[in-house]
Amino acid sequence: MHSTRKVTDDLIYVGGSDRRLSRFENLFPIPKGVSYNSYVLLDEKTVLFDTADESISRQYIENVVHALNGRPLDYMVVQHMEPDHCAMIDDMLRRYPEAKMVCSAKAVGMFAQFYGTDVAARALVVKEGDKLSTGEHTLHFVMAPMVHWPEVMVTYDEKDKILFSADAFGTFGALAGNIFDDEITFDTTWMNDARRYYANIVGKYGVQVQALLKKAASLDIEMICPLHGPIWRKDLGLLLEKYQKWSTYEPEDKTVMIAYATMYGNTENAANVLAGMLADKGVKNIAMYDVSETDVSELVAESFRCSHLVLAAPTYNSGIQPKMEAYLSDIKALNLQNRTVAVIDNGTWAATAGKQMIGMLEGMKNMTILENTISIKSALAENQLGALEALADELAKQVNG
């Protein structure tokens, strides 16, 4: 049975959600599932905005067929060629032989790469600023390269002031009937997943997101229809403000995130002692994570949120404890910037992890590495408490000041 909802009088939500998939991109845990959004516009011409992942193919086909209600499909706007949105394109093109695929030039090539089919004859290639009238509606295409693939474009419906935003403004999390931001409590229940989605999937491309935000600012947008997560029609400012921060790598919260690695508990102990000192000095909402117990996507998201990071790790085979090293590689690859970082290391015979962590941080942009580093020899010693206190002082002054 179809499961669709009306977005406007002539726009229908035809997407669906997957709650079985454990990892998005086979990488990021999604305990709350994920939605694959797609939309049908019923104007004088009919339009399908993107398709969906094959995991929801049965539901998706029923939804599209129901929404079109016997009408042919004239246009299929393909904004992003990632398989979680384009898996059903081939099926749609065969099911609707008159449909034209409206997309960027790069998308045509990508389709051939993924599916071995040349769709050039079915493609209506559009570029920056091109417009397509579908009757009452005019669709205005805006290129958004590297948000988060090179072929990405977004589409602005001039009549209803809707931005179809591709992966931008998307989030992890399945939809449960409520498809609009005003039908859910986004700030408390969804924001962490939205941040984790942004930081890990689009985080690297802050410059490109900024370019898109600038283009979007020139459009009068009343609704945003992303490819994942709820449709924004009420509190658009909430996510736009977050996107402004995330894409400029500006921390959201002035607080300390302590990420530690530990085998025997001694580095963890130092992290706890430091956290207590920070709390005594008035630092609030301290976030602390064991990097072996926390998925790296969470660590990345929290690093995008917090202003100050303390990284504490034992030396491991003359290197950095591997989970800490993986996390550092990730935030480096994702271009995290503008953080103040303190380093604590540990070692029983030759503690070298600290030097190596600092080396990785020095390779990142605009990171302030505090000179006050602490090197533990197996377990925190009495005579190191002063140094830890001094570090807590420095961090607290910055955070509270």
Q: How far is the CB of 313 from ligand FMN (least distance, A)?
A: 8
Indicate whether 262 belongs to the interface with ligand FMN (CB under 6 A).
yes
What's the closest the beta carbon of residue 321 comes to ligand FMN, in angstroms? Answer: 8
Q: Does 354 bind ligand FMN (CB under 6 A)?
A: no
**Amino acid symbol at 115:** Y
Query: Judged by CB, which is closer to ligand FMN: 276, or 282?
Result: 276
> DSSP strand E in 173-282: where?
223-225, 253-260
User: Cβ of residue 325: shortest distance to ligand FMN, in angstroms?
Assistant: 13
- Supply angle C-alpha 88, 89, 91, rounded to 5: 65
59, 165, 307, 346: residue in contact with ligand FMN (rule CB under 6 A):
346
CB of 147 to ligand FMN, least distance (A): 40
Between strands 100-103 and 123-125, the pairing is: parallel
Q: Is 165 in the site for ligand FMN (CB under 6 A)?
A: no
- Residue 347 near ligand FMN by CB under 6 A: yes
Longest dimension (CA), the chain: 79
**Does the protein bind ligand FMN through residue 265 (CB under 6 A)?**
yes
CB 373 within 8 A of CB 347: no
Collapsing DSSP to helix, strand or coil, 330 comes out as helix
Q: Phi and psi (nearest 5°) for 49?
A: -95, 105
Q: In the window 98-127, what residues touch ligand FMN (CB under 6 A)?
A: none
Binding mask 361-390 for ligand FMN (x = CB under 6 A): -----------------x------------
Interacting residue with ligand FMN among 229, 230, 314, 354 (CB under 6 A) = 314
Burial class from Cβ neighbours inside 10 Å (0-12, 13-18, 19+) for residue 147 reads buried
CB of 359 to ligand FMN, least distance (A): 16
Stretch that binds ligand FMN, among 24-32, 54-62, 265-273, 295-303 (CB under 6 A): 265-273
* Residue nearer to ligand FMN on the CB measure, 3 or 269: 269
Which one of 121, 218, 349, 383 is in contact with ligand FMN (CB under 6 A)? 349
Cα 217 to Cα 166, 237, 259, 315, 368, distances in angstroms: 17, 12, 37, 48, 32
Secondary element (H or E) of residue 191: helix 191-197
Of 96, 169, 246, 316, the one binding ligand FMN by CB under 6 A:
316
Compare residues 294 and 378 and give the one whose CB is closer to ligand FMN.
378
Q: Which is nearer to ligand FMN, 165 or 346 (CB)?
A: 346
- Residue given tokens 């005594």 in the structure block: 280
Give the three-state DSSP class for 294. Answer: coil
Token digits for 180?
A: 């609009």
Cβ nearer to ligand FMN, comparing 276 with 319: 319
Cα 274 to its chain centre, rounded Å, is 31
* Nearest-angstrom CA–CA distance, 36 and 169: 13
Binding site for ligand FMN (CB under 6 A): 262-268, 314-318, 346-351, 378
